[in-house]
A and B are shown apart, each in its own frame.
Chain A
Amino acid sequence: MHVIRVPSSLDYSTVDSVFRQCAQAVEGKALFDAGYLRFVDPQGLVGLLSAGALLKRRLGQPPHLRLPRQAEVLGYLARIRFLEQARRFFSMQARRPREIAASSDVLLEITPVTTNSDVHAVVDRVQTRAGTILTRTLGYPLVTVVQFSVVLSEVCQNIIEHAEAPGWVAAQAYYWAKRRDRWMLVIAVSDLGRGFRESLAAEHAGRFGKRWGDGSALEAAFLHGVTRFQDLGRGQGIQQIRRQVRRWDGLISIRSGTARIADVPEWDDTPALEQGLAHFPGAQINIVLPAKQRGKERSGA
């Protein structure tokens, strides 16, 4: 039995440890031990789902998920629809989570994205919910609701157009007390597709020769807007998302295969390019947008 220990704080900075442990599980049974989970952000949630789906595919049987002991955490997982999605990939003990009132800080529960219609639904949902979080919590002007919807639309389309496999998106605002003393909006997208290197290989690997790999594929797509399509209009999505995230002084990273590339603002110390990570076959996009002002108080609160 392979035991994968889920960190007590599972977010974009710790989720890689789950993938590192998953790399060791090549046969037999697996257990994800999330018993001590106390905090999880959207990147952690979709990362955990992806890890479960990967091991189910690799091992030919669903791994077991030990649910968090804390009732509040379990309730949160139910409310953000993690449990609903996790049932597809994990076996779980039947524990009825305590009902917890919906939090206004959840912008988008974990939402599967497989079709064009799913993207429309995501944009529609965000249009009705994003105003309060973006203006009151982050202190952004109201017009950013539309720009934010465009960003979400483009990242979700990345799943459908390039991964050709199912994926998820989730978004939530958090108060980052220790790291930044301000509210942050975290958007996470993950898919189990073929990743950037394979998606681009047929068209572009030849030009790179031996240098072709996960890192160079990410650089080509992320920095230069390269796509597998001949169409000049393709490849704009990621470039426009990067531009918009920069305007908001946010962080954006894409992890695919064994590499991660990022546009890193001054307030974060994520490396611009990391290689040699545990293999992840699809792609994960992580966006973190900081509030304009410090402190826990919200504008107009």
Chain B
Amino acid sequence: MNGFGIDPVAIDLRRLVRRQVASLYAHLVTRPTGRAVRLAIESQLANAGEMALSVIDFSEVHVVDFSCADEVVAKLLLHYQPPGRAARAFFILRGVSDLHLEPIEAVLERHRLTAVAETAAGPCRLVGVPSEADARVWRSLEERGALSPGDVPAHLPDEVDRAALESLVRRGLVFRRPESGDYLALSNLMRSLMG
């Protein structure tokens, strides 16, 4: 176990589609394909520790349709980050292109969900339906990388922002280290765990 109390799980979607669904094809299309891929991801996460950071790599996937995005992204988040309850896993969608973003954002909006995505061209960003406070606090933490509990009052003087920080933790969009209580941006956590 690393010092973060969380296990990293790297998921290559292209390989998963080929292994789980159809050896000839590598597109994330159709609901049954999405369901099979999601079950495979859940199976990998079941073998991880109590807490896991899962990096789901879209970079080798060309086509993602809405039905498949609903199964792979939205239903996965709903399973591990159910509304109103503490997240049981953390996710970063990696290698996401503009063409992937369209179906992903559509399904997130439909379910009122938010996710962290690392776009092919740039840094991590929040996608889906973050509130203004969510976006502000998340971006600020993303720039800093980490925030200790003692620094929170000075860095986030507004009560709304502090509430947003807790909400981001609960929804699996920010990681809080169990022992120190430090808040970590998921991109920072990913670098620390996976290099």
- Is the Cβ of A236 less than 8 Å from the Cβ of B25? no
- Is the Cβ of A143 less than 8 Å from the Cβ of B24? no
- Is the Cβ of A116 less than 8 Å from the Cβ of B33? yes
Chain B interface secondary structure, helix, strand, loop or mixed?
Answer: helix
Given A124-B25, A237-B66, A240-B106, verify A146-B30 contact (CB < 8 Å). no
- Is the Cβ of A149 less than 8 Å from the Cβ of B63? yes
Give chain A residues whose Cβ lies under 8 Å from the Cβ of B102: 147
Instruction: Please choose the segment from B2-10, B67-75, B121-129 that sits at the chain A interface, where 4 or more of its residues have CB less than 8 A away.
Output: B67-75
Inter-chain CA distance A116–B32, complex, in Å, is: 7
Given A147-B99, A161-B31, A232-B110, verify A120-B25 contact (CB < 8 Å). yes
Inter-chain CA distance A157–B65, complex, in Å, is: 11
- Is the Cβ of B107 less than 8 Å from the Cβ of A153? no
Contact of A121 among B21, B25, B31, B74 (CB under 8 A): B25
Give chain A residues whose Cβ lies under 8 Å from the Cβ of B163: none
B162 within 8 A of A: no
B139 within 8 A of A: no
A105 within 8 A of B: no
Least distance between A148 CB and chain B CB atoms (Å): 10
Least distance between A227 CB and chain B CB atoms (Å): 12
Inter-chain CA distance A154–B69, complex, in Å, is: 12
Give chain A residues whose Cβ lies under 8 Å from the Cβ of B67: 153-154, 157, 236-237
Give chain B residues whose Cβ lies under 8 Å from the Cβ of A226: none
Inter-chain CA distance A40–B117, complex, in Å, is: 46
Least distance between B33 CB and chain A CB atoms (Å): 6
- Is the Cβ of A146 less than 8 Å from the Cβ of B29? no
A119 within 8 A of B: yes
Inter-chain CA distance A154–B62, complex, in Å, is: 16
Inter-chain CA distance A157–B29, complex, in Å, is: 9
Give chain B residues whose Cβ lies under 8 Å from the Cβ of A124: 24-25, 27
Given A232-B111, A240-B106, verify A120-B65 contact (CB < 8 Å). no
Contact of B30 among A127, A143, A157, A233 (CB under 8 A): A157
Q: 1/0 contact trace for A114-125 toward B, CB 8 Å?
A: 001101110110
Contact of A233 among B22, B25, B33, B110 (CB under 8 A): B110
A150 within 8 A of B: yes
- Is the Cβ of B30 less than 8 Å from the Cβ of A116? yes
Inter-chain CA distance A233–B108, complex, in Å, is: 9
Give chain A residues whose Cβ lies under 8 Å from the Cβ of B110: 232-233, 236
Inter-chain CA distance A157–B74, complex, in Å, is: 19
The residue in A119, A149, A161 that gathers the most chain B C-beta atoms within 10 A of its C-beta is A119
Least distance between A37 CB and chain B CB atoms (Å): 34
Give chain B residues whose Cβ lies under 8 Å from the Cβ of A120: 21-22, 24-25, 27, 29-30, 33
Least distance between A24 CB and chain B CB atoms (Å): 39
- Is the Cβ of A157 less than 8 Å from the Cβ of B31? yes
Contact of B29 among A153, A232, A233, A234 (CB under 8 A): A153
Q: Which of B99-143 contact A (CB under 8 A)?
A: 99, 102-103, 106-107, 110-111
List 5 A-B pairs, Cβ < 8 Å: A120-B30, A157-B31, A232-B111, A234-B70, A237-B65
Tell me the A residues contacting B by CB distance below 8 Å.
116-117, 119-121, 123-124, 127, 143, 146-147, 149-150, 153-154, 157, 160-161, 232-234, 236-237, 240
Tell me the B residues contacting A by CB distance below 8 Å.
21-22, 24-25, 27, 29-33, 62-67, 70-71, 74-75, 98-99, 102-103, 106-107, 110-111
Q: What would 18 more interface pairs be, CB under 8 Å, given A127-B62, A149-B63, A149-B65?
A: A116-B32, A116-B33, A117-B22, A119-B30, A120-B21, A120-B25, A127-B63, A150-B63, A154-B65, A154-B66, A157-B31, A160-B30, A233-B74, A233-B111, A236-B67, A236-B106, A237-B65, A240-B106
